[in-house]
Structure 1
Amino acid sequence: MQIIQRSSTTGISSESSASTTPLDQAGLAGAAQDTGSVNQPARPTQAAPLRRGLSNWDQPLQNDISSAQQAVDFLEQSAAQLRALKTDLATKLAARQMRDGQVEQRVRQFSDTWKSRREASGGTLDANLKFSAGTPASQRFTVRGMTLQNLRNGARETLAVSVGGGAQGLRSVHLSPGLSDNEIVGRFDQALAPAGVRVEMGQNGELVFSTAEDNWPAVRDSIAVQGSGIRFPTGQLNRLKAEAEAPAVAPENWDTTDIESMRNTLQQVMQALSHVEAALSKVRQELNAATQRAESSMPEIETAGVEDLATRFASIAKEPGYQSLLALTSALVGINRDRVVSLLSLR
């Protein structure tokens, strides 16, 4: 019988062949030998390495699940607070009751929750509750004068666009007659991408810019452009105003001072709740999809010979005496609650 040397950290010391247990003889070490033929030479086998399911997941997959769960938690909390606020407002309006502090408290509570959106969601939800697992939440904005109608007309011109200030943030965009709208948008996007700003076409023919929310304060106050006098003035860089896209929810505008303001606030709360619930449904779909990918990528547990091994172990354990006790204690070394829970979670 081949004795496999084990580290003392497992609780099993390295001894001579005299310490071989009946469980080893039964085949626990991997030798498919009959219990009555322990003296026959066993075929040396190498035990399959212990594989932990979670450690075999791809890191991006784990990040997707974690990000989606954070977003779900934030949206569920927001939805619950909005439902409570909606109920209180409707009750007050039905009874034509004036403010008593409860509604104002709920408005402040949700306002605080909304202010913590970026931190609470792990940066996965932007101001319009658009979920992004792989990239940080972005801030969309427009820039005054950056419309396709203004940019497509005129002779050839090279624009120098500054983002973030300094020479490193200076980018060139070449415009000429005959460019399509998609080509104009593509040139701006290609020029500004190294500065962390992406560009796409808006619904009303304007350029819509986006950057990471962390980068937005630096971008907001530093966009400037210099032309040759065709579309934009020549000379020094001219500062352009960047306007952030309006957020989906604006609790700072909710007023409850009188019946009319409470009625308007109720409408805004209902719209906010509808927006939050729609976002929650989409993120839950993302979470379910990521969970299914995780389950399909979990390594299959080696099951060959397990039933036979269990039968042999049960037979040995029924026999009274020292050998039976030694087999049981050896098998249970290293078993703890965490390992049992981890194995059961794989079912």
Structure 2
Amino acid sequence: MQPVSSSVNAPASRATGATATRSSGTSSMAEGLREAQPLRITRQDWNPQRNQQTADTQRTLDYLERMTAQLQQLKSTLSAQLISQRATAGSNNGTTSALDRQLQSLDDLWRQRDPMTGSSLDSQLRFNIAAPATRHFSVRGLDSSTLATGERETLTFSIGQGRQSTASITLEAGASLQDNVRKLDRALAPMGVGVSLNGAGETIFSVAETAWTQVRDTLAIKGGGIRLPAGQAHRAKAEAQEEALTPAAWGTGDAAALRSTLQEVTQALEHVRRVAQQVREALERAKQSTVRAADAAWAATFAEEFGARAQAPDYEVYAAVAPALVSVNRSRVMSLLSLK
């Protein structure tokens, strides 16, 4: 009886071994898919520019929240000073000293705007994560009124010590303001300077904030004696637009100064909060975009892996794929495709 038992049990053992092999193969396939996907997804989802922009957006939000806190504290101190009736001309009490310290701290924070936000927040509190912060300015003698009229004239611009960068442009007689602005913009673009018209029709020059000091201090223009002086190049008068916050100009000397500063702080606080909300929304959009990119990468990787493995004429592969296909029918496919 023992030999019979052995012969009967042998096929069962082989079947069990085959089942184990199939299970092992299926498990290995599944584990291979699971192990391969995260690595491939990471590579496909890695976008240095997007990741840097997201980091700068978070830094900008942190900066704005810090500024909000300082402005709120300053507002409370100003209100307390006015209510206490201690704000008299020539006073020099402890509260005034505290106000001066808070103003100085706020001004210091404002001056650190560019490095603390990755150049994504300009002097007007405009948030732009796709381009460096810019400084807008006007040039005396090249406003909209002079650019809209005048005879033919050649202007030569230079920036930098020793005229490191130069550009020349000829304004034609009878050309429109828009034509002259576009011509200026094209000519000055290689120097990093932009020219445009704002909503009020004023001619506005712009440059990256990091280059503003050099432009302000070294911009020179030689004209033809019509809009600007002829002869040697003259230092241009470049005047920046007033910044959104000017803590250094806010006073605390008397009640009138305190009331004026309180009004400035209140307006600045509202402005900063609005911009902070815009940044929060941008950060949320960036997060959603990252999730969608990861989902798309996962789907592409899975389809690629699945297709490649399904092409292999291997029993273990078919054994793993078949159960997934048993319940596939037209209605289920249509239901999946209809999902948004």
The alignment's TM-score, normalised by the length of structure 2, stands at 0.72
1:227 paired residue number: 223
CA distance in structure 2 between the partners assigned to 1:58 and 1:235 by the alignment = 52
2:152 paired residue number: 156
Aligned-pair distance for 1:201? Answer: 1.3
1:116 paired residue number: 112
CA distance in structure 1 between the partners assigned to 2:215 and 2:33 by the alignment = 63
What is the identity, as a one-letter code, of the residue corresponding to 2:29? G
What is the identity, as a one-letter code, of the residue corresponding to 2:259? R
CA distance in structure 1 between the partners assigned to 2:256 and 2:60 by the alignment = 34
Percent of pairs with identical residues: 35
Aligned-pair distance for 1:53? Answer: 4.8
What is the identity, as a one-letter code, of the residue corresponding to 2:111? K
CA distance in structure 2 between the partners assigned to 1:240 and 1:67 by the alignment = 34
Unaligned runs of 5+ in 2: 1-19, 88-92, 304-340
SS at match of 2:121: coil
Q: Which moved more, 1:147-156 or 1:183-192?
A: 147-156
CA distance in structure 1 between the partners assigned to 2:191 and 2:287 by the alignment = 35
SS at match of 1:221: helix
CA distance in structure 2 between the partners assigned to 1:47 and 1:129 by the alignment = 46
* Equivalent residue for 1:72, pick from 55, 61, 76: 61
Give the direction of change, closer, same or farther, for the CA distance of 1:126–1:31 in structure 2 (3 Å limit). Answer: closer
More helix, by proportion: 2
CA distance in structure 2 between the partners assigned to 1:94 and 1:67 by the alignment = 40
What is the identity, as a one-letter code, of the residue corresponding to 1:76? E
CA distance in structure 2 between the partners assigned to 1:137 and 1:242 by the alignment = 18
Aligned-pair distance for 1:261? Answer: 1.6
CA distance in structure 2 between the partners assigned to 1:133 and 1:194 by the alignment = 22
Confirm whether residue 244 of structure 1 aligns to residue 251 of structure 2.
no
Residues 141, 227 of structure 2: 8 Å contact kept: no
What is the identity, as a one-letter code, of the residue corresponding to 1:138? T
1:182 paired residue number: 178
Q: In the TM superposition, what whole-angstrom CA distance separates every residue of 1:116-150 from its partner, at most 9, and x where no partner exists? A: 11121121111111112122111111111111221
1:289 paired residue number: 285
1:39 paired residue number: none
Give the direction of change, closer, same or farther, for the CA distance of 1:177–1:93 in structure 2 (3 Å limit). Answer: same
Give the direction of change, closer, same or farther, for the CA distance of 1:248–1:241 in structure 2 (3 Å limit). Answer: same
Unaligned runs of 5+ in 1: 1-20, 33-43, 305-347
What is the identity, as a one-letter code, of the residue corresponding to 2:48? Q
| 1:181-330 matches, cutoff 5 A | 181-203=177-199, 205-298=201-294, 299-300=297-298
What is the identity, as a one-letter code, of the residue corresponding to 1:63? Q
Aligned-pair distance for 1:27? Answer: 3.4
1:35 paired residue number: none
2:313 paired residue number: none
* Equivalent residue for 1:62, pick from 51, 60, 65: 51
2:72 paired residue number: 83
1:95 paired residue number: 84
Figure out how many residues of one structure are paired with residues of the other and give that number.
273
Aligned-pair distance for 1:24? Answer: 7.7
CA distance in structure 1 between the partners assigned to 2:54 and 2:136 by the alignment = 25
Residues 30, 47 of structure 1: 8 Å contact kept: no
Q: In the TM superposition, what whole-angstrom CA distance separates every residue of 1:286-321 from its partner, at most 9, and x where no partner exists? A: 2122221111111337789xxxxxxxxxxxxxxxxx
2:28 paired residue number: 29
Residues 33, 302 of structure 2: 8 Å contact kept: no
RMSD: 2.8
What is the identity, as a one-letter code, of the residue corresponding to 1:30? M
CA distance in structure 2 between the partners assigned to 1:108 and 1:249 by the alignment = 13
Confirm whether residue 51 of structure 1 aligns to residue 39 of structure 2.
yes
SS at match of 1:146: coil
Residues 135, 212 of structure 2: 8 Å contact kept: yes
Aligned-pair distance for 1:47? Answer: 7.0
2:306 paired residue number: none
Give the direction of change, closer, same or farther, for the CA distance of 1:248–1:174 in structure 2 (3 Å limit). Answer: same
